[in-house]
Structure formats: C-alpha cells, structure tokens
Amino acid sequence: MSILLLTSIFLPLAGAILLPARRERARGVALLTALLTLALAVVLVGCYPGGTAPFAKTDYTWLAGSGVPLDVRFSVALDGLSIWLYALTALLTVVAVLISWEAIAEQAPLFYRLLLILETGMLGVFTAQDLFLFYVFFEFTLIPLFFLIGIWGSEERRYAAMKFFLFTLAGSMLTFLGLLAIMLWDFYHPIGTPAPWKMTFSIPELTTRYAARPMDPAMQMWIFLALFVGFAVKVPLVPLHTWLPLAHVQAPAAGSIDLAGVLLKIGAYGFARFSIPLLPAAAAAAMPWILILSVAGILYGALVALAQSDIKKLIAYSSVSHMGFCMAGLFSANRLGIEGGTLQLLSHGLATGGLFALVGMIYERYHTRKIADLGGLARRLPVLGFFMAVMTLSSIGLPGTSGFVGEFLILIGLFQRGWAETLPPDALLRTLSVLAVLGVVLGAWYMLWLYQRVFFGPVREPQGQSHREGDSPIFPDHASMVPEKSGQSPQPPVRDLNLREILALAPLAVLIIWIGVYPRFFLDRLAPTMNQLTAGMRQAETRLERTKDEIRMTKECRISKCRMPEDSTDPRFPPPRPFRHSSFDILSSFGFRPLSFAKPQAAFSPLIPHPSSP
C-alpha cells in the first residue's frame, strides 16, 4: 500500500517533467497521469481499513545531521482525515485537466505541467506526516497556482495573482514560525527517560507527546494565533477573504477548481491537524471567537453573494459562506459538528468544484460570466443545465445531496453544543447556532436566483457565442454584446456538453448523491481519526466549561451564603487546573506572560550537547 501512496504523490510530478511539448500530446499525457493517480487513490480508499492507525505509511530519514539534533523525516501516510482530501485532490485534478482540454490553447504544455506539479503539492500537503515536509508542500502549492492565475487568467490576472501570493505568503510566514515553535517547545520539554535528544518533526509523535504533556495555556495561545493567521487566510475566515473572489474570478477554470476544491481545504486541514490536536486548550479557548468569525462568514458571504453580477464571483463568495460552515463544525467541540464539518469539506469540494467547472464551460461557450448577459440556457444547453442543477442543489443543502449531510450535522452539532450541553444558557452559542441556520435560507436565495436568471426565462445569449479556437484569454469587449432573441443568431447554435465534459462532471454528481444517500460510508471512515484529533480540544473545552460553571456557582453561593457543592470525583475529568483565562479574556491572559522557550527545570542550555549523546 505504501508504495502506491508514494507513487501516487510523485506520479504527477514525473508526468509534469516528462510531458511532451505538443499540445495534443501534452494534454493526453496529462490526462493519463491524472487518471492513473486517481486510480491509485481509488484503490487506496477502497483498501482503507478505518480506525486511527496511519495507513500506507512511508518513513525515511531525510535531514538528520550527525552533530545537530535535527530529525526531519520524509514521512507520508493516510488517515481518516487526509484520505478524503487526498482522494478529492486526485479527482478534481482529472476534472481540471478535462475541462481545460479545449479552453487552454496557449502554452498548453506548460499549463498542464503546472497543474500536475500543483497536484503533487496538494497530495503532499494532505499526506505529510512531518512538520517540515508539510510546510514544504504547503508553500509548494502556491507557486504553480501563482503562475496558473498569472498567465492564463482574465484581464486583471497579474494583480490577482500577486495579491493571492502575497496574502497567502504573509500568512504562512507566521504559520511557519508557529510550526517551528511547536517543534522547539517539544525539544526543550523532553519527557520519558532517557529523553530522546532530537528535534522531532513527526506530526504523530508530536501529537502523542503534546497529548501526554500539554503546553501551558498562554504559550498555546501565542502559537495558536501564529498558526491561525496562515490557516485562516487559506480557509478563508471572514476579514481575511478578499483575495479569494479576486483570485477565483481571474483564474482559469482549472485553477478555480483546484483553488476552491482543494486549496481552501488546506486551511481547515491545518486547523484540524495542528491547531486542534496540538494546542487543545487554546483551541477550546478560541472556540467562541472562531465560531463568531465562521458564522459571520456564513452570513456575510451569503449576503455579498446575493449582490453579485458575475457568476464566478457569486460562487466565490458562496465558498466563503460554505467554508464558514466547515469551520463552525470543526470548532463546535461536538462530534456531530466535527464530523459534519469534515464531510462538508468534501462536499464543498465536489459541489463548488463542479460549479466552477460549469462556469468555465459557460465561459468557453459565451465568453462572458455576467449574469445579465445570459438567460434561458436550460433550453439551449439542457445537459449543462442538469449538472448545474445538481451542483446548485447540493450547494443549497438539499436533502439527498452531500451538502445536506454536512450542513445538517454541523448545525445539529452546534445546537447540541449550544442548547443541550451548557448548564447556564450560553446566549452567544445559542444565537450563533440560530444565525447559522439562517445562512441556509440565504444560500437558497442567491443560488436559486442565479439559476433562475441564467437557466430559466427566454433564451438570452451574447453575440459571438460560438466557440473560438485559439482565442486569447482576454475578455471580449462588453460594448459589442447586444442581447438577442433566440433563433436570430447568425452563428451556428452553441453545442451542449460533449462526452468529455459529461465525463468530467458525472463523477462529481454521483459522489454528491452517494454522500447524500449513504453518508455512513464516509463518516465511519473519518470518525475515529477526527475523534482522536479533537479529543484534547473537547476535553479542554469541557474543563473550561466546568471552570466557568464553578466560578458561577461560587458566585451564586457567595450571594446566597450556601455551602459549596462538593466536587464530583469523575476519574475521567480531574479537577480543573487553575486556568488563567476563560474563553472571553484571552487578551489579558497572554499579556502578562513572558514569551520564552526555556523553563527553569530544564537542566541544559540549547547550545550544549545533551549528556546522553556521545
């Protein structure tokens, strides 16, 4: 199995290097490579046994000096969280290659090379089991996409590419510092006898060690914030989202698919992989804040989407809204919400990836993305209309599609958390859970509005709608586009989807329905891993709640001068440690804490070799 995984990660890279220079051959080889990768991914998903053990693990020493305690490993594996995102990447790359088949005319070999390199990067991000390797792949995804947007984008492509690059890079610098801090803190706080004298970058090892010996909460909060910046930009959480609509609108369709389908997931993946398991107390403390941002994103994204006139921009803002759901689920500190959030990541990748592919197909035919320029396409392009309907319905969370399962689980998790599990009614959580449901109504509003305007009504299409080979990706002049009645068009009518396009969309539609009808297949395989990853946060969260309860009860008792109730002696929940902060006064908590890695009991200084080493 491990050889399959390793092959599948580097197959696209090999394909990219060996890609022939002629367009026709290049795309054929690119498709073949992507399909082979997908086949490997399907085999791996089929063989995935579930549980929490890493699957198909490969582990080599990579950077390890003899004198320095560095221990960077080349280590990749799959678990319940990564396997779905890994498979999604493999699938969406095939879709991306298929829909670029005709659309990309200029420098096609280079385009497919970048696309395949991007695939390797994305597959690597989700499978890396080593902090260093993760970061390498994490940054590695940026560069191909930068070029994809910058070269094959629309008219403002350079600006968009630059903004995308700088925004993400700036965020990920801080993330890098955070990841380093995680590794270093572990190095300077060894456990076990004799303490292993090495700087381990291994994510599973760090996870188990941090579970056994958590960082002190203030330190956690600092590192959490550092990681947060980079991951929140990627997701994107609301005030940090402005690169996304721009990048989506300017990117070629294939770029949009990868961007929405996979790259946004890296942010959420980062939270689930690092922030939550490694820094559980901070994650628990930050929970209300992240929930506020997520729900704000749900509503704000939906409202802004409602006011858009460009199809791609509308879908881009809908992504902001949907990713808000994912984050709300992950940070609901409830298993229903967490599993729903993870499933929603997958569902959003399928539905929004499909929507961007469809918009690309519309653009290829009409060279416009303006909603006002189009109408009645269901009559003209019935098959496209059908696929659009499936993706739209999944996007608005109609039961029977994947969108429903994700959203429903997230919302019911939020409700359970806000209404059933807080002893004093937590007004904030309750309000947030209700507002999140409102996002579902708004979602239906803007998506159905889009569908009605573009696909229903009398046929309305811009002039020059026929497909032009070798057209430059520059926008055609809008002034020349006069809406016209159907049947009067001098050009031959626009053709409906061909087999290639149907084959690109059909797997997405099938998966959407599959997840909607039988989500257990997916939930059962992701549940153990997610449960393990979030166990720390959920415990910390419960403890936090208990502290709050006790503070409240103490206050009440003081007022009524009654006897303090005796603490329950539940072995699973030891009496809470004195927390310096509750979730609402984070700022005060780390303002007074000196930021230092060294602890007084550490008997060695960083530059002197460890006594146990020769």
Partner 1 sequence: MPSAKTLLVVIPAMPLLAAALTAVLGPRLLRTRSHWPTVLGVAFSFAASLLLLFQVHQQVRAEKNATFPSVTLWQWVDVDSSRLAAARTAALVESTAEAGAPPAAKQGTFSINVALQADPLTCVMLAVVTCISLLVAIYSIGYMRGDRGYWRFFSYIPLFVFSMTMLVSASNFLLLYVFWELVGLCSYLLIGFWYQRPAAAAAGKKAFLVNRIGDFGFALGVFLLWTTYGTLNYEDLFGPHHLPYAREALGTAICLLLLAGACGKSAQFPLHVWLPDAMEGPSPVSALIHAATMVTAGVYLVARCLPMFREAPGVLHVVAIIGGGTALLGAIIAVTQTDLKRILAYSTISHLGYMFLALGTGTLLGAVAGMFHLVTHAFFKSLLFLAAGSVMHAMGGVIDIRRFSGLRRRMPITHWTFLFGGLSMAGVIPFAGFFSKDAILLSLAECSGGLIYQTLYWTTFGGIVLIVLYTFRPYFIAFFGPEKIPKEAGDHAHESPRVMTWTLVILAFVAFSVGMVLEWNHVLSDFLAATPSWTTLPLPPAPEVLAKEHLAIALQSSAAVLITLACTAALYLGTRRVIVARLTGLLKLVGIYQLSFGKFFFDQIYWLFIILPAEGFAALCAWADNHVIDGLVNLCGAVPRWFGAALRPLQGGLIQFYALSMAIGLLIMLFLLLL
Residues in contact with partner 1 by CB under 8 A are: 163, 166-167, 239, 241-243, 300, 303-304, 306-308, 333-336, 339, 376, 378-379, 393, 398-400, 404-405, 408-409, 411-413, 415-417, 419-421, 423, 433-434, 437-438, 440-441, 444-445, 448-449, 452, 455-459, 518-520, 523-524, 527, 538, 542, 546, 568, 570, 572-573
Cβ proximity to partner 1: between 262 and 527 the closer is 527
Q: Which helix (H) or strand (E) holds 71?
A: strand 70-78
**Within 19-128, where are the H helices?**
23-47, 82-103, 108-127
Q: What is the DSSP letter of 478?
A: G
Q: How far, in Å, CA of 537 to CA of 411, rounded?
A: 19
Nearer Cβ to partner 1, position 196 or 400? 400
Q: 229-256: string of b/e by CB count within 10 Å (b at 16+)?
A: bbbbbbbbbbebbebbbbbbbbbbbbbb
- Rounded to a whole number of angstroms, the distance between the first and last alpha carbons of the chain is 38
Complex with partner 1: residue 57 or 335, whichever CB lies closer = 335
Q: Which two tokens stand for residue 560?
A: 């009524």
Beta carbon of residue 524, minimum distance to partner 1 (angstroms, whole number): 8
Residue whose CB is less far from partner 1, 569 or 596:
569
In the bound complex, what is the minimum distance in angstroms from residue 132's beta carbon to partner 1? Answer: 28
> Closest approach of Cβ 408 to partner 1, in Å?
8
Strands 199-200 and 70-78: parallel
Least distance between partner 1 and beta carbon 534 (Å) = 10
Q: How far is the CB of 190 from partner 1 (least distance, A)?
A: 32
Q: In what order do the strands lie in the sheet with 55-63?
A: 55-63, 70-78, 199-200
Non-local CB neighbours of 360 within 8 Å, separated by 6+ positions: 99, 103, 252, 253, 254, 256, 257
Q: At what angle do helices 382-395 and 427-455 cross, to 10 degrees?
A: 170
Provide the minimum distance between the beta carbon of 564 and partner 1 in the complex, in angstroms, as a whole number: 14
Burial of 556 (0-12, 13-18, 19+ CB in 10 A): exposed
Nearer to partner 1, 80 or 413 (CB): 413
Question: Which residues face 375 on adjacent strands?
Answer: 460
How far apart are CB 475 and partner 1 at their closest, in Å? 19
What's the min distance (Å) between Cβ of 153 and partner 1?
A: 18
Q: Which is nearer to partner 1, 299 or 350 (CB)?
A: 299
Tell me how far, at minimum, the Cβ of 411 lies from partner 1, in Å: 6
Distances (CA, A) of 455 to 37, 376, 393, 395, 451: 35, 4, 14, 16, 5
Distance from C-alpha of 607 to C-alpha of 612, rounded to nearest angstrom: 14
Residue carrying the six token digits 């940070």: 331
Q: Is 542 exposed, middle or buried (0-12, 13-18, 19+ CB in 10 A)?
A: middle
For partner 1, give the closer residue by CB, 108 or 237.
237
Q: What are the angstrom distances between the C-alpha of 485 and each of 385, 451, 452, 460, 534? A: 19, 20, 18, 6, 57
| Shortest Cβ 375–partner 1 spacing (Å) | 9
Note the maximum CA span of the chain.
Answer: 89
Q: Is the peptide bond before 49 cis (omega within 30 degrees of 0)?
A: no
CB-wise, 531 or 589, nearer to partner 1?
531
DSSP letter (8 states) at residue 487: T
CB of 520 to partner 1, least distance (A): 6
CB of 522 or CB of 590, closer to partner 1: 522
Alpha-carbon distance 574 to 266, whole Å?
35
Query: Quick check: 369 and 362 in contact, CB under 8 A?
Result: yes
CB of 293 to partner 1, least distance (A): 13
Q: Is 62 helix (H, G, I), strand (E, B) or coil?
A: strand
Q: Token match 């019911």: residue? A: 412
Tokens representing 466 are 């026929």
User: Considering beta carbons, is residue 209 or 241 the nearer one to partner 1?
Assistant: 241
Cβ distance to partner 1 smaller for residue 177 or 412 = 412
Cβ 155 to partner 1 shortest distance, Å: 17
From the number of C-beta atoms within 10 Å of its C-beta (0-12, 13-18, 19+), residue 560 rates as exposed
What are the CA-CA distances from residue 34 to residues 23, 91, 224, 359 (Å)? Answer: 16, 8, 36, 22
CB-nearer residue toward partner 1: 134 or 415? 415
Q: Using CA atoms, how far apart are residues 478 and 255, in angstroms rounded to an integer?
A: 24
Question: Residue 338 CB, nearest distance to partner 1 (Å)?
Answer: 9
Nearer to partner 1, 127 or 308 (CB): 308
Residue number with CB closer to partner 1 (289 or 449): 449
